Structure 1
Amino acid sequence: MPPPLVCLLLLLFLLAVPRPSSVAAEVSRPGGKPHVFPLRARQVPAGVLPRPPSKLRFHHNVSLTVSLSVGTPPQNVTMVLDTGSELSWLLCAPGLQGGAARGESFRPRASATFAAVPCGSAQCRSRDLPAPPSCDGATRQCRVSQSYADGSTSDGTLATDVFRVGDAPPLRSAFGCMATAYDSSSDGVATAGLLGMNRGALSFVSQASTRSFSYCISDRDDAGVLLLGHSDLPFLPLNYTPLYQPTLPLPYFDRVAYSVQLLGIRVGGKPLPIPASVLAPDHTGAGQTMVDSGTQFTFLLGDAYSALKAEFLTQTRPILPALNDPNFAFQEAFDTCFRVPGGQSAPSARLPAVTLQFKGAEMVVAGDRLLYKVPGERRGGDGVWCLTFGNADMVPLTAYVIGHHHQMNVWVEYDLERGRVGLAPVKCDVASQRLGLML
């Protein structure tokens, strides 16, 4: 079973981002040698992670992080890596004396290569962002905003600077230089912002001309792997599912997300009686299925969640006593919960696997990934454990979201060149060894 929430798997993605004119062309070619990097576990304090409007409206303190340097001379920063967001942003200190000692903020005035984006720039006319950029009439600089989990917003300047990741050549990239700080604490890794990795024009992936990247999120704290470039590896029998894109623009469909087609769900091998219309986007675009590294657990829309909850409770009745507390929902959306005697772990090996079926591929969630121990929650001498599938309607959220907890020990490839996502079950520590990484 994973460790408690504040210590669950947090990955340090040591990316290598190429220039579009040189290394990017090399890693984009089929058969080109990919860049391979280890992943490391990191801790992010509770309550520090802002969520854009399309995200869940509650705090998560488990996120994937990437450490890199920005500016000239380089300033080290730690950013949340999010395949569900476009605009990268950094918390910018107001001057040279900003508190950046531990990577909490970026100091733009200390960087010789920092430049604000003017209102007339094409980057300021991006239509991919949830909140369109605006123009500051006084400075003629492009302004961007970001929404937080508590409903507040942070305004900032759209800017560019040099990003350096690993030993790769530097890349000039656009990002939001935000003015508002958020809570942090001394017992975790401070995060300076977010690295957007979706398919939007201003995402880090697009600006780096990266046409394929993949990762394996480990269930261990210190074993995982990230590849930038095509991962044509013989020991990875990937099954691919196509990225889904409606023919017409729809108001509630995120067209730059990594959306796939969810066709069905099985519990312990039994198909759930969910109509196909429930699993597909409706006429407004609501109901798409997104693969998202920026969300911890997986969320299903109400009808699908209710079917999963009913069948999972039925099959686990001989194994685990249900919590039966209608007033309790972990993180506001997880109410399929159980009682486990204190000091014991849930009987993971006996739990029925949950299989998400896609067109051409599937993802099996089994064992330790099915239940999560709620920190500090007890009923008498029992601990409380909840199913790691949440009810999106309770958040609320208008999409199916597959979080990184259910991507553990699954090789996930984002193939933008062919418009598909590849999935293969694999032990991440074994994959790391096969790739020559000593972790």
Structure 2
Amino acid sequence: MSPIPKPLFFFFFFLFNYVSLSSSLSLHLPLTSLPISSTTNSHRFTTSLLSRKNPSPSSPPYNFRSRFKYSMALIISLPIGTPPQAQQMVLDTGSQLSWIQCHRKKLPPKPKTSFDPSLSSSFSTLPCSHPLCKPRIPDFTLPTSCDSNRLCHYSYFYADGTFAEGNLVKEKITFSNTEITPPLILGCATESSDDRGILGMNRGRLSFVSQAKITKFSYCIPPKSNRPGFTPTGSFYLGDNPNSKGFKYVSLLTFPERVEILVPKERVLVNVGDGIHCVGIGRSSMLGAASNIIGNVHQQNLWVEFDVTNRRVGFARADCSRIL
């Protein structure tokens, strides 16, 4: 099986047809509907925002606000388990499976926020007999197997060589005393090359959005700082955003012919240190699809809201370093 892409902070995919540079970089982005395919991974990947049913209207609405750390990834702390244990997770709208760090205590160095299953009364494991542990399960293209303890084992490999593997488990997320998710299927990584987990936010049926029946979520990414030792913070909302009255929305069902996003010129070049600046655009050849991505560099100082119920995405300019 070919490796899947390293989690990038995906927005959605476009084909560029015009670029002009003045005081801002004007990107004219035509939105094109792609056919949904159950057999082509790249089509399923690019249409994941469109291919799922809307969350049930009877699902509980979660209203959760949090700051996140921004260091070329959006790192949010979530309260997982009963009682809750704070877990550092990378917010990723391009991933399906969410996973947390569950490293064995005998394996140093242990991640800073490793989850201890023995301390949670709501933790449970998935046995080998679970349907997700069988091959060729729709929407779950990652390899699973049965380990020596008859538990469902998963392996998550990324294109840049990083990885995470462990057991599939069920666990709750506690946002408040009255807002607790049902047990969600997560990965419990006992081996990984990173010290944080992943919060999968795409529309696959195993994503956090789908399992928790999230109706909408939004984030505001601050500018990256070059100050030594300083990590900027942005804002993350689950549920209604009080700033949404000023949002401009794009429907994911009735595509307009063109959407224009103005990228300030200071977002075109990225300071990588020692006086070196690189163009903030990478190659997407590893995706296996003829696509482009609006990544987090070009989303800085923008509110971006995914209105899952109404299948639309909203935007608004903001000073993301000052908002919660």
TM-score above 0.5, yes or no: yes
How far apart are the structure 2 equivalents of 1:416 and 1:235? 17
Which amino acid in structure 1 is aligned with residue 309 of structure 2?
E
State the alpha-carbon separation in 2 of the partners of residues 400 and 224 from structure 1: 24
Which residue identity is paired with 2:76? V
Q: What pairs up with 1:109-188 in 2 under 5 angstroms? A: 109-124=118-133, 126-136=137-147, 138-151=148-161, 153-165=163-175, 169-171=179-181, 172-182=183-193
Higher relative helix content: 1
Separation (CA, whole Å) in 2 of partners of 1:107 and 1:96: 13
Distance 1:98 1:71, change over 3 A: farther
Give the match for residue 204 of structure 2. Answer: 200
User: Match of 1:389, as an amino acid?
Assistant: I
The alpha-carbon deviation at position 198 of structure 1 amounts to 0.8
Give 1:212 deviation, angstroms. 1.2
Q: 1:222: how far off?
A: 5.1
2:103–2:111 Cα contact (<8 Å) kept: no
User: Which runs of structure 2 are paired with 1:204-243 in the superposition (5 Å)?
Assistant: 204-219=208-223, 224-231=234-241, 233=243, 235-242=245-252
- Displacement, 1:211? 1.5
Aligned counterparts, 1:25-174, within 5 A: 25-26=60-61, 35=63, 37-41=65-69, 43=71, 62-95=72-105, 102-103=112-113, 105-124=114-133, 126-136=137-147, 138-151=148-161, 153-165=163-175, 169-171=179-181, 172-174=183-185
Q: How does 1:375-390 map to 2 (within 5 A)?
A: 375-376=273-274, 383-390=275-282
2:309 equivalent to 1:411: no
1:400 aligns with 2:292: yes
Give the Cα–Cα distance (whole angstroms) in 1 for the partners of residues 166 and 293 of structure 2.
28
Q: 1:95 to 1:243 in 2, by over 3 A?
A: farther
State the 1:217 CA deviation. 1.5
How many equivalent pairs are there? 260
Comparing 87-96 with 364-373, greater Cα deviation is found at 87-96
Deviates more, 1:113-122 or 1:222-231: 222-231
Q: TM-score, normalised by structure 1?
A: 0.51
Q: Which amino acid aligns with 1:179?
A: T
Structure 2 CA distance, aligned partners of 1:153 and 1:219?
28
Name stretches of at least 5 consecutive residues in structure 2 with no aligned partner: 1-54, 225-230
Corresponding residue SS for 1:214? strand
**Contact persistence 2:66–2:76 (CA under 8 A):** no
Aligned-partner Cα distance in 2 for 1:359–1:412: 20
**Rg (Cα) greater in structure:** 1
SS at match of 2:173: strand
1:371 maps to which of 252, 260, 269:
269
Q: Which amino acid aligns with 2:139?
A: D
Q: CA deviation at 1:157?
A: 1.0
3-state SS in 1 of match to 2:122: coil
d(CA) in 2 for partners of 1:25 and 1:113? Answer: 19
Distance change >3 Å, CA 22–CA 140, structure 1 → 2: farther
Q: Is the 8 A contact 1:38 1:223 kept in 2?
A: no
Which residue does the alignment assign to 1:321? none
Give the secondary-structure state (helix, strand or coil) at the position aligned to 2:129: coil
Please give the root-mean-square deviation of Cα atoms over the aligned residues, in Å: 3.4
Q: Secondary structure at the match of 1:164?
A: coil
Cα pair 1:70 1:161 within 8 Å, conserved: yes
**TM-score computed with the length of structure 2 as normaliser:** 0.68
1:379-412 C-alpha deviation (Å, 9 max, x unpaired) = xxxx33222122323x575332221111112221
Q: Which moved more, 1:204-213 or 1:160-169?
A: 160-169
- Find the residue that maps to 1:215 and give its secondary structure: strand
Q: Report the residue type matching 1:412 in the other structure.
A: V
Per-residue displacement from partner, 1:322-361 (whole Å, max 9, x unpaired)? xxxxxxxxxxxxxxxxxxxxxxxxxxxxxxxxxxxx7463
The letter of the residue matching 2:186 is: F
Matches within 5 A, 1:242-257: 242=252
- Please tell me whether the aligned partners of residues 88 and 176 of structure 1 are also in contact (alpha carbons under 8 angstroms): yes
Contact 2:163 2:193 in 1 (8 A): no
Q: In 2, distance between residues paired with 1:405 and 1:173?
A: 31
C-alpha distance in 2 between matches for 1:102 and 1:217: 24
Aligned CA distance change for structure 1 residues 117 and 22 (closer, same or farther; 3 Å): farther
Identity %: 35
C-alpha deviations, 1:195-223, integer Å up to 9, x for none?
11111111111111112111222227656
In structure 2, distance between residues paired with 1:111 and 1:37: 24
Higher relative contact order (CA 8 A, sep 6+): 2
The answer to which of 199-208 and 69-78 deviates more is: 69-78
Please tell me whether the aligned partners of residues 96 and 107 of structure 1 are also in contact (alpha carbons under 8 angstroms).
no
Q: CA deviation at 1:127?
A: 2.0
Aligned partner of 1:362 in structure 2 is 260
